[in-house]
Amino acid sequence: MCENLKINRSLFFLPLICRQCSTRPKLNSAKSTLMDSREINDVIVSRLDNFIENTGAIVLECGNYISITNLLDQYFQNKPPFAETGNKKSEFPDAIVLLATESWAKEEGIQVLAVASDKDWKNYCDTSANIDYIEDLANALSKFNKATAPFAFLSFLTSQLREKEDSAIDFVERIHNNLEMYFDGFTPDQEADSYHQWEPDGCHGWLSDFELTDYNFNIIDHSEDYIVLKMSANISVEVEGEFSLSHYDSIDRDYVNIGGVTTTTEAQFNSEILVTISGDLNGDLSNLEIEEVEVVNPIASVDFGTLEPDYSDDE
C-alpha cells in the first residue's frame, strides 16, 4: 500500500505532544536551568510552532476526530493498539492518535504512513485500511522520493546492473572510460626502498582496472535532467617511475651517481566516485551522457618496492 501514498505533508499532534513533554521528569528538572524566563510549556509550544511553520505540517486536533465510545470499545476488547496484557492505561495516548488519524484519513480519502518502532502500532496498522506502518525513517522518506525522476532512475539503474543488461554493462564501461581520462598521466608521490641513495625523477600513471563494489548508490545532487551519484569502487592503477641512484664515496665524502632505473608497479585502492549523468532520466541508459567522474579519495603515493641499479645495458 505504501506505493500509493498521496500525502506530502506530515501530521502533527500538538495537544498530545505538549501534554507528554510537559510531564517528562527530565524536562521538568531542566526547567530550573533555563536562562529564559518563559515557562517550559511556552518553550515547547514556541518550538513546535516554528517546526510547523517551517515544514508546513498539519496540526490535527485529535478531539475532533475520535469517538469516546469507539475508544472504550478498543480498550475493553483488547484491540490494537491496546495490548492484551500489561498497563493498558498508558496506551491511551497512542490509541487516541491512531484512531484520530484513521478517522481523518478516511475523511480526506488518503493514505497515511506511520513511522514508529512499536509492536502495538504495527498491530493496529496491519488491520487499518488507511494507515501503513514502517519502522525506518529513511525508508519512509524513500517512499515519497521514488515518485521523482532521479529516484526512479536510481531504482531502474540498479535493477539493470543486477540483471547485467547490455545497456548497464555499456554504462559501466563508459564510467571506465571516464576514469581512464581521469587517471591518464596522473603523478602520485614516489615511495621506494633501496640499499643505495635514491631520488625520484618523476612518474606517470594510468588506469589499469576498476569495478563497482556494490550497487548501493547515493544521490548527491539532482534535477529533472541530471543526477550526481556517489558510488564505491575498487580501482587499480599502474605507474611508471624513474629514479636516480647514488652511492656514498667515503674517500671523496660525496655521493656518486651510479645510474638511473625505470620501473613499473601496480597499486589498488578503494574510493568513492562521483558520477555526473545528464539527459532524459526517464529514457534509455544508452541515451544518457556521463559528463564527469570524480574520484573522491585518489591514491596519493605509490610504493615501487626495492630499487636496484639496472646493469642490463652493460652486457
Q: How far apart are CA 150 and CA 281, in angstroms?
A: 7
Q: Which three cell numbers stand for residue 183?
A: 587517471
Closest CA to 295 of 152, 164, 184, 151: 184
The residue assigned the cell 636516480 is 244
Q: Does residue 46 register a pLDDT over 60?
A: yes
pLDDT over 90 (residue 121):
no
Helix 166-183 × helix 149-162 angle, to 10°: 100
Q: Count CA atoms within 13 Å of residue 69 on its CB side.
A: 0
Predicted TM-score (pTM) of the model is 0.53
d(CA 14, CA 237): 58
Least confident of 59-63, 90-94, 140-144, 204-208: 140-144
| 15 upstream amide cis, omega within 30 of 0 | no
Task: Taking the CA atoms of 136, 137, 138 and 144 in sequence, report the sign of the dihedral they define.
Answer: positive
pLDDT tens per residue, range 127-136: 888 888 888 7
Q: Within 10 Å of residue 175's Cβ, how many Cβ atoms?
A: 19
Could you tell me where the DSSP H helices lie in 64-128? 68-76, 92-108, 119-126
pLDDT of 309 reads 83
Q: What's residue 257's pLDDT?
A: 81
Given this model, what pLDDT does residue 1 score?
Answer: 38
Quote the pLDDT of residue 23. Answer: 40
pLDDT digits (tens, 9 = 90+) for 237-280: 999 999 998 888 777 778 888 888 999 999 999 999 999 999 98
Q: What is the mean pLDDT of the chain?
A: 79
